[in-house]
Chains A and B, each alone.
Chain A
Amino acid sequence: MSVFIQQLINGFFIGSVYGLFAIGYTLVFGVLDILNLAHAAIFTLGGLSALWLTRTTGLPVWASFCLATLFSGLLGLVLYRVAFAPLRRRADSNLSGLISSIAMAIIFEAGAFEIFGARTVRFPQGMFAVRVYHFDSLTFTSLQLEIVAIALGLMVVLSLCLKHSRTGKAMRAVAESETTARLLGIPVERIISETFFVSSALGGAAGILFGLYFNALGPDMGRSIELKGLAVIILGGMGSIPGAILGGIAFGMSEVLTVALTGMSSLRDAVAFSVLLLILILKPSGLLGRGRIRQA
């Protein structure tokens, strides 16, 4: 039984990182109706640049975390300027945007390979004091707790900002209707740029936390999470922030539970993707979606 609970806790830990990653996806989709497939590449570059900063400049982990998060946000701005902004007036912009984001993902991934090499790299041993807590028969480390705290903290901050801050309200207005937002005097272009900045910064932060959690980073680490992120936002409902958080945690738990119950690690993703397919067929708006099916 305690093994079961331990598995659930582990699933919760990794699920919070999935949620953080998925929020970036869902934020851009909510505002622009575009699926940004370069999000996973920014996740990778965020993680790798944080590692590079700690190893070469000797900055403490928290400092390089902040810098790399900022860097990911800036990458997001580049991504928007190059791949999305020129397509905005086109009729099929959500499809062509999908494809130009794939192109940018390939370019970013090539950059990651070129700069950081193809090998899996790790944070140096003993960089941070990792304490192990025992609670009854359950075990977790201070690192795991910090990761969950940061991930959940960022999600809470984002939700509050979207709800109460001026920029957040403007983002929601643009998501609701771009034309109306423009008529109301909201600087739509700037708000969209800011959305990309926030979304990519969160994606990069998720990459760093993912790298810290498994302590293994490589230029292709984004590939596995890319599809999981999609599954998470569909599970939670496209464009829904709480949906992405809950979806992430549910996905993380379903992964570990599948392995725990079947004993086959290769089946890890099977349940999640079957559920995803079923949800898309039965209730495409997702579990917490806004109830309408967007039509392309």
Chain B
Amino acid sequence: MSEFFAVYGSLINFAGLNALLALSLYVPLSAGQLSLGNAAFAGIGAYVSAILTMRLNAPFPLAIAAGAFTAACVAVVIGAPVLRIRGIFLAMATLAFGEVVRIAAVNLAITGGAEGLIGIPSKTTMLIIYGTLGVAAYFLTILRGSRIGWSFASIREDETAAMVMGINTTLYKNSAFILGAFIAGIAGGLYAHLNFIITPGEFGFAAEVQLLIYNIVGGARSVWGPILGAFILTAIPEVLRGVDITAGPPRLFVNGLILLLVILYLPNGLSSFFKRAKGSSE
């Protein structure tokens, strides 16, 4: 057993963090808002918490919380104007925001420029990652069945109709966006204190797309979908190594193929597959 953890420990850690990041995107998606800024929020959480622990010797939990709160505060400021736009335009506005954050991290002195921050103390453990993931998943499951969760769902299905029904769509859209940013901020902080090193490039466009892929492959219709998607896609390189596919291009190809097949044949993701097997209707 301990041998298993020695070999696959870091894989399990990253799977948990990716799942947490996937959940951070799930929240705005559940309210119908396609945000591509969550990797940038994770970046904000990562940088703020790493700077706090490295420069000010702040206690680890405080640093993580500060990072998450900073990400949420940025989301408050950016969300108010941005969430007035819908659909693809919102995706692009959040994408532009992500690029601005990345470029800022490259150019500021305190973030270490393009080389990033090196020598972040290693504080994150597997227990912390999975504990946080469990709490987040539990909280989001409760939220889903609450009045707020139903409001999110009604906005996702038809925003105009939801507004007519008297739902304060602006408030709920912003809440979803901010909550997503908060979770992303936590995940980013944990990532920084696991990985020893963070660079601006890790929180760019490719990372945004990766989060979206987790949600699509797993299915963004339930809390378990994004987690499942993140686990499967994080584990796939290892599985492929088992069948002797180690080179980059075939691995990339398999990822693309999975995404294509899921979007064409399982529009609600892999988790809907299990639901179908159980015989319950969508």
Contact = CB atoms under 8 A, between A and B. Distances in A.
A59 to B, nearest CB: 26
Given A230-B92, A276-B96, A110 B86 contact: no
Contacts of B260: 82-83, 100, 103-104, 107
Contact of B256 (A94, A110, A274): A110
A296 B160 CA distance: 11
Interface string B249-271: 11111011101100110010000
Contact of B86 (A109, A230, A274, A295): A295
Interface in B84-113: 84-89, 91-93, 95-97, 99-100, 103-104, 106-107, 113
A164 interface: no
A294 B89 contact: yes
B148 interface: no
B29 to A, nearest CB: 10
27 contacts: A35-B88, A86-B264, A94-B88, A95-B34, A95-B88, A98-B91, A99-B213, A103-B259, A103-B260, A104-B256, A106-B252, A107-B260, A110-B256, A111-B249, A113-B252, A118-B248, A223-B205, A227-B205, A266-B103, A266-B114, A267-B107, A277-B97, A280-B82, A280-B96, A281-B85, A293-B89, A296-B87
A255 interface: no
B16 to A, nearest CB: 24
Contacts of A102: 209, 212-213, 259
Interface string A272-296: 0110110011001000000001111
B242 to A, nearest CB: 20
Nearest to A277: B96
B81 interface: yes
Pairs of residues from A and B, 3 with the lowest C-beta to C-beta distance, nearest first:
A296-B87, A106-B256, A103-B260
Interface of A: 35, 82-83, 86-87, 90, 92, 94-96, 98-100, 102-107, 109-111, 113-114, 118, 223, 226-227, 230-231, 234, 264, 266-267, 269-270, 273-274, 276-277, 280-281, 284, 293-296
B216 A99 contact: yes
B262 to A, nearest CB: 8
Interface of B: 34, 81-82, 84-89, 91-93, 95-97, 99-100, 103-104, 106-107, 113-114, 205-206, 209, 212-213, 216, 248-253, 255-257, 259-260, 263-264, 267
B119 to A, nearest CB: 23
Contacts of B267: 90, 92, 96
Contacts of A105: 256
A36 to B, nearest CB: 11
A295 B259 contact: no
Contacts of B209: 102
Nearest to A282: B81
Given A94-B87, A103-B256, 6 more contacts: A87-B263, A90-B267, A264-B107, A274-B100, A280-B82, A296-B87
